[in-house]
Structure 1
Amino acid sequence: MELDDLDFYEEILHVRDGKGGKSRHIPMNKDLVGVLEEWLEYRDDVNTKKVFISQRKNALTVDGIEHLFRSLSVKVGIPDLTPHVLRHTFAHDLAERGESLQTIARLLGHTNINYTKIYVSPSREETRAAVNKLAGERYS
């Protein structure tokens, strides 16, 4: 992601080369806008247009991102923490809050809604909660 991909006035993020090489514009919520503005102040003036940089102030590489996620995985106690897990969580949380599959598909850059269904499959706890909604007062 490059600095030119951030439009703070319109609160839009341009994903240039997303999964499958697809480009799209997605809205940024107020939290993301705030965090990115703080990061850019902290980031200072460096010799790259990339938004995220390494400790050496260079563009963050794929290896650097993988290292970052491995470190975070250990610190937060989530063994398989990856960017893809964050993408899945984003889609799942939107679905859990009642967003339509069409909206989620658009945010993820999916042209086929069947791909989106994979991200929003319910957890064991959610299926249990759904079934429990049918429980009557008889055995409560």
Structure 2
Amino acid sequence: SEARKALTAYLKLRAREVHPEWPGAERLFWGQRGPIGPRAIQRVVACAGQQAGLPHLTPHVLRHTFGKALVDQGVSLDRVTTLMGHSNLNVTRRYTTPSERDLEQAVELSSAE
């Protein structure tokens, strides 16, 4: 997409201008001493989850939510697989398993016909 291309170009430019010697200088998120790592992201997400009343929020939960939301919107599994960076559909299927409520709604829809 155009937004992705523009963001990628900006990050490369920023990396060259700001701190070209830092490994990972093209990363989007930075702390006071350079690019933040996975643990810092986990802490930020956990803190946001606590503030939102979601005490068990993790980046992994967000990935599941993203995949499930795409499937719920009718995006095909092969596209969801690509968007999530999975190597095959079986991995994506684990992320998008229907909930009990999804199954109840499916039964209700079939009963209404």
> Scaled by the length of structure 2, what TM-score is found?
0.72
Q: Distance in 2 between matches of 1:90 and 1:70?
A: 17
User: Counterparts of 1:49 and 1:117 in 2: how far apart (Å)?
Assistant: 32
Q: 1:46 Cα shift?
A: 5.5
1:12 aligns with 2:31: no
CA shift, 1:66, in A, is 2.0
Structure 2 unaligned residues grouped into runs of 5+ = 11-16, 20-24
**1:1-140 equivalent positions in 2, closer than 5 A:** 10-12=2-4, 47=19, 48-54=25-31, 56=32, 58-136=34-112
2 CA distance for matches of 1:87 and 1:78?
15
**CA separation of 1:106 and 1:136: change in aligned 2, threshold 3 A:** closer
Alignment partners' CA distance in 2, 1:126 and 1:51:
35
Backbone CA RMSD of aligned residues: 2.7
Larger helix proportion of the pair: 2
TM-score by length of 1: 0.60
Ranges in structure 1 where 5+ consecutive residues have no aligned partner: 1-8, 14-27, 38-44
User: Relative to structure 1, is the Cα distance of residues 64 and 113 closer, same or farther in structure 2, using a 3 angstrom cutoff?
Assistant: same
d(CA) in 1 for partners of 2:59, 2:112:
42
Q: Tell me, what secondary structure is at the counterpart of 2:30?
A: coil
Question: Number of residue pairs matched?
Answer: 100
CA gap 1:71/1:113 in 2 versus in 1, 3 angstroms = same
Q: Give the partner amino acid of 1:53.
A: W
Larger RCO, structures 1/2 (Cα 8 Å, 6+ apart):
1
